[in-house]
Amino acid sequence: MGSPRATTMAFVAIAIGVALCGSSAQGQTWPDIFDPTQLLTLNLTMDPADWDTIRSDLTFDIEVEVQFWADREVPITVAVRRKSCDALPNEDDPFKVSLKIDINEIASGQKWHGLIKLSLENGDHGDRAGGVCDNRPEHANADQVGGKREGKG
């Protein structure tokens, strides 16, 4: 899996644009990045060996430095680890895993669209990863500066 070049993974984020819901739900104020009418592509670039390490990590503690950005943005350095969700299709072939992106772990105080953490779910237990969220913030999974907003996952 992988070449000498860095592995680039693009997470088409219906998960961020739609599944990580918008500001209209229940009168809560959410960063514009959660606008349910937009579709974003999130990108992570890392060494292929680091990706293999993350995919296979059953301790869910190993973090690696990666470059992270949405299309048309300048990449930032963040930490990524595997979340404690089941791999798809299975642990013998962990092709699709849930990820926790720690935006301010490497660069203290760094924010991305007002967020300091972001979770990307793989849909292992019916999570709405990559799917439509119906504008319900309880399915969102991100930490916002000034107060934790963490939902399912």
Q: pLDDT tens digits, residue range 111-139?
A: 999 999 999 988 776 655 444 444 444 44
DSSP 49: H
| DSSP 3-state of 54 | helix
What number is the average pLDDT over the span 35-45?
91
Place 27 in a pLDDT band, splitting at 50, 70 and 90: low
Its pTM stands at: 0.66
Q: H helices of the chain, where?
A: 14, 48-56
Cα–Cα distance list, 56 to 39, 84, 85, 91, 134 (Å): 29, 11, 12, 8, 32
Q: Give the C-alpha separation, 106 to 73, whole Å.
A: 19
Q: Which residues pair with 80 in a beta bridge?
A: 64, 101
CB-based burial, 57-79: b 16+ in 10 Å, e otherwise: beeeeebbebebbbeeeeebebb
What percent of the chain shows pLDDT beyond 70? 63
Structure tokens at 100: 């926790």
What percent of the chain shows pLDDT beyond 90? 43
Task: Please report where in the chains the tokens 């990706």 appear, as a residue.
Answer: 51
What number is the average pLDDT over the span 64-92?
93
Higher pLDDT, residue 75 or 1: 75
**What integer pLDDT is reported at residue 29 of this predicted model?**
78
Structure tokens at 93: 């072939």
**Closest by CA position to 50, among listed 64, 69, 68:** 64
Higher pLDDT, residue 94 or 103: 103
